[in-house]
Every structure is written in C-alpha cells, then in structure tokens.
C-alpha cells in the first residue's frame, strides 16, 4: 500500500476525497486502524483523559507523547502519524522546535499538532523551515480549557468566527500543512474549508470539512460518562472493533458521518 504523506492529503482535498482520521495510542489499535483504511493516526494528548483518567490534557508530558507515538508508529504501516505537542512544550518557537524534533526523532511522528492561531505563526514558520509538518488546531483548544472556562463551542458570534477564519488563513500562510477545527459551527467550518488550500480536519465541525477525526474510545463507546454530541458509537452497529472502524471509515468517505445531529 502507498504511504500517506502531506501531498497525498493535499491531492485528496483537491479531488474531493474525504480523509478519515482517528486517535490511536498503542500498537494494537494502530494496526487495526491502519488495516481498516484510516488515513491519519492522531496520537492525541487526549490520552491524558482517555488512558490516564485525568480531568484535562494539561498534565501530559512530552516523554509520554513520545512513548505512545513510538508504539503507534511501529504498527502504523502506510498511515500518516500525527502527534500532539503537549501543553507548555511549545511556549516559545525554539522550545517548539526542540519538542517537535523529539516527537519526530524519538517517537517517529510524521507531523506535529499544536493548538493556536495567530500567536503561533512564528512557531509554525520555524517548524516548517526545519522540515517539520504542522497541523494547526483551532476553535476549541483543550489545552486552554481553564482560560476558556470549559469545553464550549467556539465561533458562535460574528467576532469570534472572524477571528477563527483569520487564524486559519494566518496558519496556512505561516506554512501549516493541515488545519483542525474543533467544536465550531458547521457553517463556519465549511467557510474555512473553502477559504484555505490545505486540508481541514473537523471534530464537531460538521460534514463539509475535508477530513473527520474522532477520539477512538468515544467511537467505540468505551469512554466513561456522557458521549460528546459530535461523536457516534460505531461499535453499537458493528460485530467487533474492526467492523466499527471499517464502518467509521466508510461513513466518513461517503459523507454519511457526521450527520446534522452531530454538528453545531
Ligand atoms: O488530543 C486529541 O485527541 C485531539 C482530538 C480531540 C482532535 O486533539
């Protein structure tokens, strides 16, 4: 199978082919996801909540991210592996370069993800200059949960929506290869997806993004507590985990997921 790279994703966007992404934190799941056609494996710092049982992603360390990225990369075969830069490991451009370098050299990540827009322009530019592909996470920024006052939909009013659109343009201009929009109104996500040339991944951002991502444990119904509105338990309608992943990939590719009920 052909390796998925940033240029593969770019071509998929141009061809209108939807991109399927899921989080992965270990080799066993990574192998199943890769075999069932997931295009991007995201080693998300959501592992702080999902695997470690913390109440936010803030305590996750760079060493933990490297450990999990290495496991995922080992089993990822042809799939692109994207890893999160955890909280306070990219507070300056130089710190970001050091941290991203470790995620790639020691963890084997193909791409790093960081949270932020205009404030991260210099950082994204420096990483791009050093050959490090970047995904810019916009909208709801889980690492800023204390500042945001909770996990809330972003960009509902005109001023906020305009700011997110400007952030998207600024990060594309700075050299980001992908954007990720979390919990923004579907109409805003559609506008941003049309306004930029790079692929846009959505989570809680409606169906008109180029790609979709879900937290693996949410789409398998394992996460304790209430499932987020934008997620769906694919295991309910499948015989096993492989079947659930296959159903998710198919639903993303043919535009059946997310449905209106999963959007804001
Ligand atoms: O950490 C993560 O899993 C993420 C997704 C929620 C997009 O950033």
Domain holding 24: CATH number?
3.20.20.60
- Report if residue 108 sits inside a domain: yes
Residue count (the chain): 264
Q: Which atom of ligand 1 lies nearest, measured to the CA of 46?
A: 1
Which 3 state secondary structure label does DSSP give 40?
strand
Strand pairing category for 19-23 and 40-43: parallel
26 within some domain:
yes
- Whether residue 90 is contained in a domain is answered as yes
Total domains in the fold of the chain = 1
Q: Is 247 contained in some domain?
A: yes
* Mutational pocket test of ligand 1: of 42, 137, 182, the residue with most ligand atoms within 8 Å of the beta carbon: 42
| Residue 191 resides in a domain | yes
Q: How many angstroms from the chain centroid is the CA of residue 249?
A: 15
Q: Which of 21, 29, 44 to mutate to test the pocket of ligand 1 (most atoms within 8 A of CB)?
A: 44
Judging by DSSP bridges, how do beta strands 134-139 and 111-115 pair with one another? Answer: parallel
> Tens digit of pLDDT for each residue in 177-204?
999 999 999 999 999 999 999 999 999 9
Ligand 1 atom at minimal distance to the Cα of residue 57: 1
Find the domain containing 246 and state its range: 6-262
Residues with C-beta less than 6 Å from any ligand 1 atom: 23, 42, 44-46, 84, 180, 182, 203, 213, 215
Number of other residues whose CB lies within 10 A of the CB of residue 233: 15
Q: Is 128 exposed, middle or buried (0-12, 13-18, 19+ CB in 10 A)?
A: middle
Determine the pLDDT at residue 2. 84
Between the CA of 93 and the centroid of ligand 1 the distance, in Å, is 22
Assigned domain for 245 exists:
yes
Condensed to tens digits (0 to 9), the pLDDT of residues 139-172 reads: 999 999 999 999 999 999 999 999 999 999 999 9
What phi and psi values does residue 13 have, to the nearest 5 degrees?
-60, -50
Residue 35, domain member (yes or no): yes
- Give the pLDDT score at 227: 86
E strand map for the chain: 19-23, 40-43, 80-84, 111-115, 134-139, 178-182, 200-203, 211-214
Residues 6+ apart with CB under 8 A from 214: 22, 23, 203, 231, 232, 248
What is the pLDDT tens value at each position of the chain, 264 positions in all?
Answer: 789 999 999 999 999 999 999 999 999 999 999 999 999 999 999 999 999 999 999 999 999 999 999 999 999 889 999 999 999 999 999 999 999 999 999 999 999 999 999 999 999 999 999 999 999 999 999 999 999 999 999 999 999 999 999 999 999 999 999 999 999 999 999 999 999 999 999 999 999 999 999 999 999 999 878 889 999 999 999 999 999 999 999 999 999 999 999 999
Asked, for residue 1, whether it belongs to a domain, the answer is no
CA of 85 to the centre of ligand 1 (A): 11
Q: What contacts 80, CB < 8 A, 6 or more positions away?
A: 3, 4, 5, 6, 8, 9, 39, 40, 41, 110, 111
Average pLDDT, the chain: 97
């Amino acid at each position: 199978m052909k390796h998925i790279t940033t240029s593969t994703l770019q071509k998929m966007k141009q061809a209108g082919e939807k991109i399927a992404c899921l989080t992965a934190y270990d080799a066993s799941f990574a192998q199943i996801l890769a075999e069932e056609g997931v295009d991007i494996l995201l080693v998300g710092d959501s592992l702080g909540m999902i695997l470690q049982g913390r109440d936010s992603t803030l305590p996750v360390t760079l060493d933990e991210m490297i450990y999990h990225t290495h496991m995922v990369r080992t089993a990822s075969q042809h799939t692109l592996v994207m890893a999160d830069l955890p909280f306070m490991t990219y507070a300056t451009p130089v710190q970001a370069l050091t941290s991203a370098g470790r995620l790639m050299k020691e963890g084997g990540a193909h791409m790093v993800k960081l949270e932020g827009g205009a404030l991260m322009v210099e950082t994204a530019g420096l990483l791009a200059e050093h050959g490090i592909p970047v995904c810019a996470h916009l909208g709801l920024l889980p690492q800023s949960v204390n500042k945001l006052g909770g996990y809330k939909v972003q960009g509902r009013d005109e001023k906020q929506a305009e700011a997110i659109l400007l952030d998207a343009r600024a990060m594309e201009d700075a050299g980001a290869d992908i954007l990720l929009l979390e919990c923004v109104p579907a109409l805003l996500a559609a506008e941003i997806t049309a306004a930029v040339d790079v692929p846009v991944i959505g989570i809680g951002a409606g169906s008109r993004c180029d790609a979709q991502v879900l937290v693996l444990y949410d789409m398998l119904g394992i996460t304790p507590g209430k499932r987020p509105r934008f997620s769906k338990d694919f295991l309910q309608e499948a015989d096993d985990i492989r079947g659930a992943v296959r159903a998710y990939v198919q639903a993303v590719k043919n535009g059946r997921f997310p449905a209106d009920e999963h959007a804001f």
